Amino acid sequence: MKKLFIFFILLLVVGCNQEPPVDLEPIPKRVQVESVSVRSFKDYEVYVGHVKSAGLVKHAFEVDGKVDQVMVSVGDRVDQGQLLATVDTEGYSYALDAARAELSSAQSQYNKALESLTYAEDLFSDVDKLYKEGISTKSEYDKVKLNLDVASSDVDSARGLVNQARTQVDVKEYMLEQTDLFASKSGIVVDVLNESGELVSAGYPVLVLRDALPVLSFGVSQEDLAFLEIDQVVDITYNDRLLTGAVISINQVPDRTTQTYEVELSLNEDLPLGAIATIKLTTKDLEGVKLPLSAIRSDGEDYVYVVVNGRVVRKNIEVLAIFNQEVVVRGLDGDCLLIIEGIMGLTPGDEVELVGDES
């Protein structure tokens, strides 16, 4: 009983010595903010394209013959008008010489016919004068007139033969010229189909060229098609290199599988065929605030925290566009202090202390 009494005494002493609880002031939470404001931005879409040849051009002789020389090899760069290959010219040279001989003979016959016509015209002039004076007879007049008509007909025939012979010379000259095969455009040789000594037929390909600079092809959606036009310059990224390209064609019929419209861009550099590159296509104009993606929270609605008079305020936002780790949003009016660090655990109305760069 004595021990129990001492225990109660001790409890009473301890209770009397304990200080009453003190109400503590809440400690402001430390946050980092960034000053943001409404600005104008250009939205863009990123597409992936592949490099392909702008076009293949098959080169063929317009004449039959035996290949004499091939001056280029696969992979060679050639300029427009450069000599690529030749066909043996011996047969075509002989044919041209023969045609020229025929022309010379026809020209000689024509000159003789002209001389005969001139003589017949002079004779007819004299006889016609005598006939009108009653000196020459009607039979002499008719005979001279007939000779004149025959001489005139002979000239016409000779002229026709000259024209035919001249045409044959032109044809043979053209055929001889076609024994040289020239590049119709600048490009790169991708295939050589015949070698020296082989017989080739007119119109059958001997070499194949592709354009020196390839094109970049990609498909765009119907929505973004409105933001493209011929000669428009767009930004291209290839292996971390920044390039530009100009729109050279826009297919107005969508691909059956992807339902996208093929667009081709010219390139100012020779990229490997089949290489992959990305295209940045600028689209619509945006009016809003750009902020870090990490600053956005969501509970069914997207929102951010801003600081107003030292306290946390929630602002609901609408995301307009996403650019990598940044977004453009609508819902923040005027300049405001956006909380970008220290967001965890915040609730609207919390008092905060700003740290770090506020600009």
Mean pLDDT, the chain cut into blocks of 10 residues (359 residues total): 45 49 69 88 89 87 94 92 95 94 94 92 88 86 90 93 95 94 90 93 92 89 91 93 92 91 89 91 86 89 91 91 84 85 89 72
Residues 194 and 312 in one domain: no
Query: pLDDT value at position 247?
Result: 93
Residues 79 and 189 in one domain: yes
Residues 68 and 188 in one domain: yes
Query: pLDDT value at position 19?
Result: 55
Residues 172 and 199 in one domain: no
Residues 308 and 266 in one domain: no
Q: Rg (Cα) of the chain, in Å, rounded?
A: 48
Residue 14 lies in a domain: no
Query: pLDDT value at position 110?
Result: 93
Residues 140 and 171 in one domain: yes
Residue 23 lies in a domain: no
Nearest to 183 by CA among 60, 358, 279: 60
Query: pLDDT value at position 5?
Result: 45
Residue 46 contacts residue 323 (beta carbons within 8 Å):
no
CATH at 269 = 2.40.30.170
Query: pLDDT value at position 18?
Result: 53
Residues 109 and 80 in one domain: no
Query: pLDDT value at position 316?
Result: 93
Residue 43 contacts residue 321 (beta carbons within 8 Å):
yes
**Strand partners for 219:** 262
Residues 81 and 185 in one domain: yes
Residue 189 lies in a domain: yes
Residue in the block written with tokens 């109400």: 23
Query: pLDDT value at position 60?
Result: 95
Is pTM beyond 0.85? Reply is no
**Strand partners for 15:** none
Domain endpoint, select from 177, 199, 222: 177
Residue 125 lies in a domain: yes
Nearest to 146 by CA among 163, 124, 164, 129: 124
Domain endpoint, select from 284, 300, 332: 284
Domain endpoint, select from 152, 177, 202: 177
Residue 293 contacts residue 327 (beta carbons within 8 Å):
yes
Residues 189 and 315 in one domain: no
Query: pLDDT value at position 320?
Result: 87
Residue 77 lies in a domain: yes
CATH at 188 = 2.40.50.100
Residue 132 structural domain: 90-177
Cα–Cα distances (Å) from 176 to 6, 185, 333, 336, in that order, read 136, 22, 80, 82
Query: pLDDT value at position 6?
Result: 44
Query: pLDDT value at position 273?
Result: 84
Q: How far apart are CA 162 and CA 158, in angstroms?
A: 6
Residue 333 lies in a domain: yes
Residue in the block written with tokens 């020389």: 69
Query: pLDDT value at position 286?
Result: 85
Residues 103 and 133 in one domain: yes
Nearest to 36 by CA among 265, 323, 315, 279: 315
Residues 83 and 196 in one domain: yes
Residue in the block written with tokens 């033969």: 161
Residue 316 lies in a domain: yes
Residue 24 lies in a domain: no
Q: Number of folded domains in the chain?
A: 4
Residues 320 and 347 in one domain: yes
